[in-house]
Structure 1
Amino acid sequence: YLVSTWAAARFGADFPYGTLIVNVVGCFIIGAFMTVATERLIVSPYWRLFVTVGIVGGFTTFSSFSYETLHLLQEADALRAFYNVSLNVLVGFSATWLGIGLARLF
């Protein structure tokens, strides 16, 4: 909520920037955490699930992403809906990959 409010004030409310930011940050965190948890610390699968699904999953928001995309489509703004899906997927995967790479580097 706070990130979405900040992003709307900063960039405008025509596009769900806040949800995009939160999802990308969450992807980076999951990539980095899972790499460290499985390659360095050997964290139990239960703790990995707790952190990724419980904590980071509570931070990111697929349901908001879905609703905001459908809302853009209902408003006949197919281009922004396409951008929303594309950016969340492509930048999200890139952030996960970056998190994995940086975790392996350090």
Structure 2
Amino acid sequence: MGVLFVAVGGAIGSVTRYLVGGWIAARFGSAFPYGTLVINVTASFIIGFFLAFAQERVSLNPNWRLFVAVGFVGGYSTFSTFEYEGIRLLQEREMLLGSVYLIGSVIAGGVAAIGGIALGSWV
């Protein structure tokens, strides 16, 4: 049964990633991977918030954790895409953009996870 929750959550997360990434690219262009950056930061916040909230505030069926944290966030997050895009920027000699993207993603993702944990623990 857990596999079904992961699969459905992953499908929804993947479609959400596709839609959010496309929406951001249409508005801000594709010279810089804004979509992946936004997706990774929001995924960090979502998983931080959800797991803190689920562990500290409410008693949820374990299948919800599989659905949200493993399925949805796993399908929504784009860490492998983040790595690829960052390395490609560096390979294209876009050292400043590549460095800002890689370092900025890690810092912003960390801050977002801390914010999600804090909010999930507080709510």
Compute the TM-score of the two structures, normalised by the length of structure 2.
0.76
Aligned to 1:33: 50
Stretches of structure 2 lacking an aligned partner (at least 5 in a row): 1-17
Q: Does 1:71 align with 2:88?
A: yes
**Contact map agreement 2:46 2:113 (CA 8 A) in 1:** yes
Distance 1:92 1:40 in 2: 23
- Cα distance in structure 2, aligned partners of 1:12 and 1:88: 18
What's the CA shift string for 1:46-88, capped at 9, x where partnerless? Answer: 6534431222111011111011011101111011111111111
1:88 corresponds to which residue? 105
Q: Which runs of 5+ in 1 are unaligned?
A: none
Provide the C-alpha distance between the structure 2 equivalents of 1:45 and 1:88, rounded to a whole number of angstroms. 30
Alignment partners' CA distance in 2, 1:82 and 1:48: 34
CA distance in 1, matches of 2:66, 2:100: 30
RMSD: 1.7
2:28 to 11, 14, 17: 11
Aligned amino acid, residue 14 of structure 1? A
Corresponding residue of 1:24: 41
Partner of 1:59: 76
Deviation at residue 12 of structure 1 after TM alignment: 2.4
Figure out how many residues of one structure are paired with residues of the other and give that number. 106
User: TM-score of the superposition, structure 1-length normalised?
Assistant: 0.87
